[in-house]
Structure 1
């Protein structure tokens, strides 16, 4: 859990002045250089994210319509993909594994508030979307969740707890439904 900057969000900011100034700078760069960049310019957008402290692997596909709260809280492993319309609410750390996919409209949310305290302080918990996992369209991923390796999260699911590896999961709340079985077809069969 991230250290709380302010215990009373009714009277003060949840983040430091330096954090807020960096987000202002990021918002300007996002609006001017990132958001309207051509779709195939993945390496260009990866370079911008790296300038803002993101760890970005090789062959990462972050599309121009992805909304990112704080790039410095991203760890994007090789060949992962994040579709336009996805939102990475990275108040805390988000890790997206090798060849993992986050589809359009999905909301990956690391921040929440402690409703048991008078000041309603914000706190964050990291999210991990493991290698080869697929978060389908319009899912909500709750703070502190780990999506297991190879798991598939069905469209419009609400994930409030960890999901196991190599399972197809769906629902509100999301639950494991069946094993994910991968079929390796020879490339010449795929071409026909």
Structure 2
């Protein structure tokens, strides 16, 4: 990890292998969040977006009123989630937001996609967690079962095709596919 990337990462402790990365308080808060979501949102019907948005906002997320979040979405930590107007997290999305994950207006993350904002430094014997923010630009689309890794910026209007793997930034208004994601062609901008 470069010095600039190191500086941008959240200040998490660097425990010895096997030691807890997060405080007991933080783990209890996350467990409480999971219980709240399971009891009050996970089972709700698809049209109950406003209710789920309300619960996320109540727990610290920055969610626009017109955003759409499905009940079986997994949000690791609500205060690290930000969604603009008409942004969408589809059914079964995993949002592992150790660092902030931001969806700009009209960004779509389709079913069972995985947004993963953290990894471990496998070269460090302590195996510390390294978190880097993810940004999904306006009008971008992360298609079904795709994976977006830590620190990736999906540019405005970019598309990551189904089951694609993005570990580097995706250029605006470009369609990507594959593992690792490679540019396929330019995407036409709306009129």
- TM class, shorter-chain normalised? over 0.9
How far 1:183 sits from its partner (Å)?
4.9
In 2: Cα distance, 1:58 partner to 1:31 partner: 21
> What is aligned with 1:6?
14
How far 1:176 sits from its partner (Å)?
1.5
Task: Give the root-mean-square deviation of aligned CA atoms.
Answer: 1.0
Stretches (4+) displaced over 3 A: none
Instruction: Report if the CA contact (8 A) 1:170-1:176 is conserved.
Output: yes
Which of 61, 74, 90 aligns to 1:67? It is 74
1:115-135 CA deviation, whole Å, 9 max, x = no partner? 111110112000000100000
Instruction: Report if the CA contact (8 A) 1:6-1:15 is conserved.
Output: no
Q: SS of the counterpart of 2:33?
A: helix
Instruction: Report if the CA contact (8 A) 1:91-1:111 is conserved.
Output: yes
1:125-164 CA deviation, whole Å, 9 max, x = no partner? 0000010000000001110000000001100001010000
In 2: Cα distance, 1:129 partner to 1:114 partner: 24
Point out the structure with max Rg over C-alpha.
1
Q: TM-score, normalised by structure 1?
A: 0.92
Unaligned runs of 5+ in 1: 185-192
Instruction: Report if the CA contact (8 A) 1:3-1:123 is conserved.
Output: no
In 1: Cα distance, 2:16 partner to 2:82 partner: 30
Q: Does 1:171 align with 2:182?
A: no
Q: SS of the counterpart of 1:177?
A: strand
Unaligned runs of 5+ in 2: 1-8
Instruction: Report if the CA contact (8 A) 2:173-2:189 is conserved.
Output: no
Q: TM-score, normalised by structure 2?
A: 0.93
The equivalences for 1:1-192 within 5 A come to 1-10=9-18, 12-184=19-191
How many aligned positions are there? 183
In 1: Cα distance, 2:160 partner to 2:70 partner: 20
